[in-house]
């Protein structure tokens, strides 16, 4: 498959790119700088650009079978308008070019999954530290739901840099485990890749814990 990845130099994005290449996919990474992907090799095409540049995003989307966003705010306590604008640009480009499959990495506790995060540490962190990033994710999720695309929203629990386990629990109504659910970024990447390859969980928001 031809898969376009936004956020490919992030910690989850790099895992996704490496795993997708290992599965034989042709990957286009849309990044601000390609330095973070040095050494990955394989069938990787790097496009440098600004996600708010609609022409650049449109050009990158052309010819893709699926698009994945693992974009995340560097400072979650601040709003990141560029990411919200970028997701809007991705949606518009996909609609214009007939690319339907879109998998978006959000976070457990965003939108209607807020109740699933209650009673754990992150339930306190959302209003205190993560509110801006979660509000931005909520805006993106609403836009994705109304896009008409074959979307899947993935809402992982607290991310870690642990090794892939190949084990996770997922579901649209899944609640976290007390006191704090976590999942390795490598497993999130594997879940996203499987969703792309098998067209699983289309038009669903899926909570994901390790």
**Per-residue pLDDT tens for 44-72?**
999 999 999 999 999 999 999 999 999 99
Write down the pLDDT at residue 175. 84
What pTM did the predictor assign? 0.94
* 111's tokens: 């939108």
Report angle CA 89, 93, 99 to the nearest 5 degrees.
Answer: 135
Write down the pLDDT at residue 111. 87
- Which phi and psi angles does 106 have, rounded to 5°? -110, -135
C-alpha–C-alpha distance, residues 67 and 47, integer Å: 14
Low-confidence ranges of the chain (pLDDT < 50): none
Nearby residues of 168 by Cβ (< 8 Å), 6 or more positions away: 183, 187, 191, 208, 209, 210
66-69 and 158-160 as β-strands: parallel, antiparallel, unpaired? unpaired
Write down the pLDDT at residue 65. 98
Element (H, E) at 160: strand 158-160
C-alpha–C-alpha distance, residues 175 and 24, integer Å: 34
Q: Are 145 and 102 within 8 A, CB to CB?
A: no
Write down the pLDDT at residue 34. 72
* 139's tokens: 């805006």
Write down the pLDDT at residue 151. 98
Write down the pLDDT at residue 125. 65
C-alpha–C-alpha distance, residues 88 and 144, integer Å: 8
C-alpha–C-alpha distance, residues 63 and 113, integer Å: 33
- Which phi and psi angles does 127 have, rounded to 5°? -70, -25
């Amino acid at each position: 498959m031809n898969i376009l990845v936004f956020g490919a130099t992030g910690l989850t994005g790099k895992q996704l790119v490496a795993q997708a290449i290992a599965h034989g996919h042709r990957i286009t990474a849309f990044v601000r700088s390609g330095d973070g992907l040095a050494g990955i090799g394989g069938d990787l095409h790097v496009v440098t650009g600004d996600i708010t540049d609609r022409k650049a995003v449109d050009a990158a989307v052309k010819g893709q079978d699926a698009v994945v966003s693992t974009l995340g705010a560097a400072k979650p306590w601040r709003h990141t308008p560029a990411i919200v604008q970028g997701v809007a640009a991705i949606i518009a480009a996909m609609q214009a070019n007939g690319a339907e499959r879109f998998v978006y990495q959000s976070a457990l506790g965003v939108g209607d999954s807020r109740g699933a995060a209650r009673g754990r540490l992150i339930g306190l962190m959302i209003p205190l530290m993560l509110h801006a990033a979660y509000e931005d994710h909520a805006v993106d999720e609403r836009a994705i739901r109304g896009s008409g695309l074959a979307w899947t929203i993935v809402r992982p629990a607290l991310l870690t840099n642990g090794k892939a386990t190949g084990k996770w629990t997922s579901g649209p109504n899944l609640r976290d485990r007390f006191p704090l659910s976590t999942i390795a970024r490598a497993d999130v990447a594997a879940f996203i890749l499987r969703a792309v390859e098998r067209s699983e969980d289309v038009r669903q928001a899926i909570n994901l814990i390790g």
